[in-house]
Amino acid sequence: MISFSDRVRIDGRSLWSRNAVKGVSLRGERLKKDGKKEWRQWNPRASKLGAGLLKASESGLLPEPGSVCLYLGSGHGTTISYLHDHLCAAKNHLGGTIVAVDISSRCIRDLIKLSKTRPGILPVLGDCRQSEHISPFLSAKVPWLFQDVSQSGQVEMFIHSCHRFLAEKGTGILSLKSASERDTGSAFEHAQRSLLEAGFTLVERIDLSGWEDQHVLFHVVF
Ligand SMILES: C[S@@+](CC[C@H](N)C(=O)[O-])C[C@H]1O[C@@H](n2cnc3c(N)ncnc32)[C@H](O)[C@@H]1O
């Protein structure tokens, strides 16, 4: 067993989070009882952060429980629900906040539903290229920023958002899909060069193949 925290662990070959909403499986994932606790299986094929946790060699991918995080490209909230298990826990007794931004109103509708049972999730309908869509929801820079937008220009978007919203020594994680970039063949090399030139320290470049082909997670510190 490998534990990332009290609430996220690898048991056997699978990743699990401690379910903050007992009895509820969001996407049909397995639930497992363990005394008074309930664990929820975290599918790495449906979550790049999940795949990253299974493949990373370095620690530090997850934020501190109870902190404020910025998540760009929240989708329908699959990964966010696991992040919530870790960061907020049941009834948000850890006091965390996930500012969850997406450009799609359908995604935000699902996130609003999710946030009703998972307090601590703050859904924001906005374009992450526009800082002013996000800044009203943050009172200070954040220690952890994750981006998964699968859209051309992802690297520049990430650098811009980190400069604007990530605290000094904060953790930034960029999920990069090479097929979304114009020059697919050199997308990862180009991204790494741009991140280093922008002043980030590269903690690890995590190749997600096996779980998510053509995807890399760049784990950086600002
Ligand atoms: C791959 S999905 C995210 C999946 C999600 N991270 C998860 O693991 O559950 C990419 C999301 O990015 C959103 N997106 C794309 N461009 C965006 C932009 N400029 N600003 C905000 N969201 C954007 C899309 O609407 C889509 O929901």
Query: How far is the CA of 211 from the CAs of 62, 161, 175, 177, in angstroms?
Result: 19, 27, 13, 13
pTM flag (> 0.85):
yes
SS3 assignment, position 25: coil
Does a structural domain hold residue 11?
no
pLDDT at 58: 94
SS3 assignment, position 217: strand
HSE-up (13 A, CA, CB side) for residue 30: 7
Does a structural domain hold residue 21?
no
Task: Report whether residue 111 contacts ligand 1, using a CB cutoff of 6 Å.
Answer: no
Q: Are 82 and 62 within 8 A, CB to CB?
A: no
Q: What is the CA radius of gyration of the chain?
A: 16
Q: Whose CA is nearest to atom 10 of ligand 1?
A: 149
Domain that holds residue 162: 43-221
pLDDT at 150: 85
What CATH number does the domain containing 209 carry? 3.40.50.150
Task: Report whether residue 150 contacts ligand 1, using a CB cutoff of 6 Å.
Answer: yes
Look up residue 41 and give its two tokens. Answer: 């299986």
Q: Whose CA is nearest to atom 3 of ligand 1?
A: 75
The domain tally of the chain equals 1
Question: CB under 8 Å to 188, separation ≥6 — which residues?
Answer: 176, 178, 205, 216
pLDDT at 37: 97
pLDDT at 213: 87
Look up residue 102 and give its two tokens. Answer: 């997406």
Q: Whose CA is nearest to atom 16 of ligand 1?
A: 149
Q: pLDDT digit of tens for each residue in the chain (222 aa)?
A: 889 999 999 998 899 999 999 999 999 999 999 999 999 999 999 999 999 999 999 999 999 999 999 999 999 999 999 999 999 999 999 999 999 999 999 999 999 999 999 999 999 999 999 999 999 999 999 999 999 998 889 999 999 999 999 999 999 999 999 887 777 778 999 999 999 999 999 999 999 999 998 999 999 998
pLDDT at 183: 72
Q: Are 16 and 53 within 8 A, CB to CB?
A: no
Task: Report whether residue 195 contacts ligand 1, using a CB cutoff of 6 Å.
Answer: no
